[in-house]
Structures are given as C-alpha cells and as structure tokens.
Amino acid sequence: MRIAKVRTAAYALAAILWLMVAGLPFYFMVQSGFKKQFDLLSHPFWMLPQEWALENYRTVLEGTFLRSLLNSMIVVSISVTLILLIASMAAFVFARMDFWLNRPLFGAVVAGLAIPAHVTLIPVYVLTTRLGLYDTLWALIGPYVAFNLPLAIFILAEFMRQIPRELEEAARLDGAGPVSFFWRVALPLSRPGLATVGIYNAVALWNEFVFAYVLTSSPTRRTLPLAIWDYQGQYTANIPLIMAVLSLSALPLILIYIFAQERVISGMMAGALKG
Amino acid sequence: MNGVGGPSDRSTAAVFFLLPAFAFLAVFIVWPVLLSIQLSFYDWSGISPVRTFVGLDNWKALTGDGVFWRALGNNLIVVALSIAIQLPVAMALAVLLHRGGNRLKIFKVVYFFPMLMSTVAVGALFKAVYNLQFGVVTPLLEAAGLAGLSRDWLGDPQIALFSVVAVICWQFIPFYMILFLARLSSIPNELREAASIDGATGGQYFWRVELPLMRGIIITAMTLSLIGSLKYFDLIWVMTEGGPSRATELMATYMYKEAFSSFRMGYGSTIATAMFFIVMTAALATIAIRQRRSEEA
C-alpha cells in the first residue's frame, strides 16, 4: 500500500515538473509582454507586471506586424489549396491506376521527403531573381508547394487505395470516366485525409522560415516568422517588446488548438504517419 | 482489370493528373538539386554573370575545410543528443499520460504547447530565457542559491551547443510523446489485464510487453530525429547564427553564410551538395535497415 502511494506521488511530481518545464517559458513570454523594461530589470521575472502596460502591443501593432499576418494568410491559403489539389490528383493516379512506371515514380516522389531545402536554396534564389519575382509573395508559392507535395501525395494515396473496387466498377457502368470518378467519388471520400494534410501543411508553412528569409527582404513582404526575425533584430535589447510580438504571433494557432485539440494534434503528427 | 474508362482514356487522364505535381517537383526540387551539383564545380559570386569552372577545386577545399568538419561534427552531436534525450523523456511522459488517463488530460494539453510555436519564435523566446539579467534560467539558479552554476549560456563556446540542444529537446519532446502515446493507446487492454493476472508489476509490463511492441515506432522516431537533425537550421540561426566562434555551426548555417553572406555561391553549392548526399545516404541506410528488420521479423 505504501509503495503504491509513493509511486503515485512520484508520478504526480514528474507530471508537475514537466508542466513547469513546458509551461514556464510561456508564462515568461505572456506576462513579460505586458511589462515595461525597467519593471523587468527591477523585479524578478516570476512576478506579474507592476502595471500592465499595453505600449509594447501598441508599438507592434502600429508597425508592419498586421501586414505580415495578412501576407502569411495569403501565402499559406494559396499554397495549401494548390498542394491539396495537385497532390490529390497525383495520389489518385498512384493509388488507382496500374502502369509500369507507377511504383518507380511513386518511389521517386517519396524520396523527395528527405531532400534538404538548403540544396535548392541557391538555384531557387537565382530562378526567382531571373523571373523578377524576388521580394514578392509569389516567389514563396513554388517552393512551398513543391516541398510539401511528397508527403501530401503519400498520405492521400493511402486514403485513395482504400476506396472499394466496386465503387469504381459502378461508376464505369454509369459511364463515368476517370476524371469524373476522381471529382465525384475519390475526392469526397478522401475528405479526412485532405483535412489532415491541410492542417499539417498549413502549420508547417505558417512557420516556414528559410525560403521566406532568402526570397523576400522588405518589411511589407515579410511573412510572420520573418516579422519575428526582423523585430528581434531591430529591438535586441527590448525583451518585453519581443515577448509581445511572440505572444501575438503564437495566438492564432493557440486559439485554434484550444477549440480543436485532437484535430490539430493529429494533423501536426501527419509527418510521422509514414512509419 | 481496367477499372474506370478505356485504356487510352485512362492513360491520357493519368498524364494529365500527374503533370502539375511533376512540374512543381521538376522546377523547384529536381532542377535545383542538379544545378547545385553543377555549381559545386564553379567559382561564382552569384552577382557577376561570370561563372568560372574550377573542376574539383571546391571539393578539394571542402575536404580540407576544418569549419565544414566541425559543422558536420556538430550536426552529429545534435543527432546523438536529440535521440538520447528526446526519446527517453518522451517515452516516460507518454507512459505517464497513458497510465494517468483522463485525470492527466489537462497536462497533455499543456505538454503539447511547445509544438504550437514556430521555430523562429521558440528561438527568440529562448534567447530571452537564457538572458543573464532579464531571463529565466540564471535568475532561477540565483534564487535557488546555485548562482555558481550559471554560465553565459549562448555566449560561451564550451556550452552554447548544449544550450541550443536543450531548446531543441524542449520543442520536439511533445512530438515524440504524442507519437508514443498514440502507439501505447493502440495496445489492447486485454494484454494489460492478462499481465496483471499473472502478477506482473507496472514496470515489468512496460519493459516486457509495451516496449517490445513499440520497437517499430521507436525506429520511426529515431529516423525522423536523424534526418531532421542533419537538416537543422532555423533555431540555430535565430539563437546563435552558428556562433560563438563556430561552436554551434551546422552544415546548413555554414552553407547559408558562404552563399548568402560571403557570396561564394560556388562553394556554398559544394557544401549544399555534400549535405544533400549525407542526408540521402542516411535516409537510404535507415530504409535498408528497416527492410532487413521487417524481413527478419
């Protein structure tokens, strides 16, 4: 009996310890964002602000932050739409049509999962400047779509393989060709897969850094991660202001998470499904 | 056997459906990889229109480049520490959450929080957390009377890499935790009941039943961690830019500096190409090992 109690206490202690490790940085971030600089200097970090100052948030919102938020929304929504459409078309072919190149081509696509973005950075940068797209949001869409296609195709093909043969036979007897079978049957039946892939890519691209860093430069063309980068370069010493930027930028995803935890978690874990 | 439509109808559709995907992959992945390989044999500033063919000079320089080997070494340290720290902690937390069930639901919600921030935000946050005056770590140590343990976390070349690895672990442990938790939850309850009828303790049940069943998912986690760590860039770039004095330099940060700060696009391509081959070799090796294992099983 005593051993059981000790064990329960040890578990509880471990649970609380990790709660602190995971949560403390967030506590620091959120409440420091409301502090004035001298407050952070003169009182320990764990004390709540002496006076809840909104001026950090005002400075951030008066800058280009909202523009970056809008940029991120534009780039992410266009890219994710393209990924879902293009990947489901390709996945349909890999899952439902037999031809001699099917397996080698699918293997080549899956190999794309491991390719580091850095090996394409110089050529993509050169291509973007040549096309006159440097420092535009359009520049990001090409690499964003391409790098996320392999996983999206892989996951969607799994879903489309599960569509029963009989449905295909029935569609053929009704005179439906492959294109209408894709639109009317395969795509609607893959809805859970599309949701998972959509969430995964939306989060990944919402946070994408290196392409946006290389392919854009002016503050009005920056996406959210680059806004954070620019602010922390510009206000190195002003920790409360940076914490306000971080709190604001984390807010959208945290809100979505609070309302749809399981969806967000399973979507974000999609990258590991291939095991 | 033909499925939907006649043969020619189908092959037209197949080509039409595959075309957009392969166009994107060709323009933004295949062609760039090939061009990088080609550029690795040139001397090029990226600005001037002149590219000078230098043969194997860049590759010879790379093999003798101490910074590159240091960066590769750092990558391997990140790989080793990530696997050695993240997976056991994630496993312990997953078991904890699994045994706790619904009572620990709120803990699970908070444990996942680090995954919700972008890597850039995590980097900026921890730069502040490590700040000696305004941060979290040093003031906490001082409050605990352990001020002597405090270091210049990101400024001391001896420990900067470990400070950064700690942040990587903080960010990714929740990911592996959820991965393991999902696998634990899929183990049928009957096994647990049977084990406890046989008098197995919780610990014995974990080591003899749960852990062996999780072999597949652990190998998946190791693979993801390995490939991810070899490609690592964002967090290090935000926190230290590879410094101080190359202490946290990785292949990716070194490649970026050479190509986009020093405008040595040729040599930058050489580093990028080397990185590409290292990552692809690691990926192929893990696939081969997995296949052999599944054949044995």
A residues 124-143 lying closer than 8 A (beta carbon) to B: 124-127, 142-143
The confidence score (pLDDT) of residue B29 equals 95
From the candidates A21, A121, A182, A254, which should be mutated to test the interface with B, based on the most B CB atoms within 10 A? A121
The whole model's pTM is what? 0.90
Confirm whether A271 is domain-assigned. Answer: no
Integer Cα distance of A147 and A162 in angstroms: 25
Say yes or no for a CB contact (<8 Å) between B260 and A87.
no
**Chain B within 8 Å of A147 (Cβ-Cβ)?**
yes
A122 and A190 fall within a common domain: yes
Confirm whether A266 is domain-assigned. Answer: no
**Chain A within 8 Å of B285 (Cβ-Cβ)?**
no
Q: Which of A32, A57, A82 is the last residue of a domain?
A: A57
pLDDT in single tens digits along all 275 residues of chain A: 577 788 888 888 888 999 999 999 999 999 988 988 878 777 878 888 888 888 889 988 988 899 999 999 999 999 999 999 999 999 999 998 888 888 899 999 988 888 999 999 999 999 999 999 999 999 999 999 999 999 999 999 989 998 888 888 888 888 888 888 899 889 999 998 999 899 999 999 999 999 999 999 998 999 999 999 998 888 888 889 999 999 999 999 889 988 888 888 888 887 675 43
A103 and A204 fall within a common domain: yes
A74 and A194 fall within a common domain: yes
A164 and A109 fall within a common domain: yes
Confirm whether A224 is domain-assigned. Answer: yes
Q: If we measure between CA atoms, which residue out of B14, B13, B2 comes closest to residue A171?
A: B2
Confirm whether A253 is domain-assigned. Answer: no
* Nearest beta carbon to residue A28 from set B22, B39, B129: B129
Q: Which of A41, A57, A73 is the last residue of a domain?
A: A57
**Chain A within 8 Å of B56 (Cβ-Cβ)?**
no
pLDDT tens across B99-141, in order?
888 888 888 888 988 988 999 999 999 999 998 888 888 888 8
* Residue numbers in A near B117 (CB within 8 A): 207, 246, 250, 253
Integer Cα distance of A16 and A14 in angstroms: 5
User: Are A105 and A94 in contact, with CB atoms under 8 Å apart?
Assistant: yes
Instruction: With a cut of 50, list the residues of chain B below it in pLDDT.
Output: 1-4
Integer Cα distance of B282 and A264 in angstroms: 30
A104 and A38 fall within a common domain: no
* Nearest beta carbon to residue B120 from set A41, A124, A228: A228
Q: Torsion-angle region of residue A251: left (phi > 0), alpha (psi -120 to 50) or beta?
A: alpha
Which residues constitute the domain of residue A24?
2-57
Confirm whether A175 is domain-assigned. Answer: yes
The confidence score (pLDDT) of residue B170 equals 95
A52 and A68 fall within a common domain: no
**Chain A within 8 Å of B240 (Cβ-Cβ)?**
no
Q: Which domains does chain B have, with CATH numbers?
A: 1-39 (no CATH), 56-296 (1.10.3720.10)
A50 and A97 fall within a common domain: no
A residues 50-79 lying closer than 8 A (beta carbon) to B: none
The confidence score (pLDDT) of residue B133 equals 82
Confirm whether A243 is domain-assigned. Answer: no
Per-residue H/E/C for chain B:
CCCCCCHHHHHHHHHHHHHHHHHHHHHHHHHHHHHHHHHCCEECCCCCCCCEECCCHHHHHHHCCHHHHHHHHHHHHHHHHHHHHHHHHHHHHHHHHHHHHHHHHHHHHHHCHHHHCCHHHHHHHHHHHCCCCCCCHHHHHHHCCCHHHCCCCCCCCCCHHHHHHHHHHHHHHHHHHHHHHHHHHCCCHHHHHHHHHCCCCHHHHHHHHHHHHCHHHHHHHHHHHHHHHHCCCHHHHHHCCCCCCCCCCCHHHHHHHHHHHCCCHHHHHHHHHHHHHHHHHHHHHHHHHHHHHHHHC
A106 and A13 fall within a common domain: no
Confirm whether A252 is domain-assigned. Answer: no
The confidence score (pLDDT) of residue B8 equals 65
A51 and A74 fall within a common domain: no
Per-residue H/E/C for chain A:
CHHHHHHHHHHHHHHHHHHHHHHHHHHHHHHHCCCCHHHHHHCCCCCCCCCCCCHHHHHHHHCCHHHHHHHHHHHHHHHHHHHHHHHHHHHHHHHHCCCCCHHHHHHHHHHHHHCCCHHHHHHHHHHHHHCCCCCCCHHHHHHHHHHHHHHHHHHHHHHHHCCCHHHHHHHHHCCCCHHHHHHHHHHHHCHHHHHHHHHHHHHHHHCCCHHHHHHCCCHHHCCHHHHHHHHHHHCCCCHHHHHHHHHHHHHHHHHHHHHCHHHHHHHHHHHHCCC
Give the count of domains, chain A: 2
The confidence score (pLDDT) of residue B9 equals 72
A residues 212-271 lying closer than 8 A (beta carbon) to B: 214, 224-226, 228-229, 232, 239, 242-243, 245-246, 249-250, 253-254, 257, 261, 264-265, 268-269, 271
A38 and A162 fall within a common domain: no
The confidence score (pLDDT) of residue A1 equals 59
The confidence score (pLDDT) of residue A237 equals 81
A221 and A139 fall within a common domain: yes
Q: What is the ipTM of this complex?
A: 0.90
The confidence score (pLDDT) of residue B296 equals 67
Distance from CA of A40 to the nearest CA of B (A): 6
A9 and A128 fall within a common domain: no
CATH number of the domain enclosing A106: 1.10.3720.10
Distance from CA of A142 to the nearest CA of B (A): 7
The confidence score (pLDDT) of residue B247 equals 93
Residue A157 phi, psi dihedral angles, 5° rounding: -65, -40
Confirm whether A70 is domain-assigned. Answer: yes
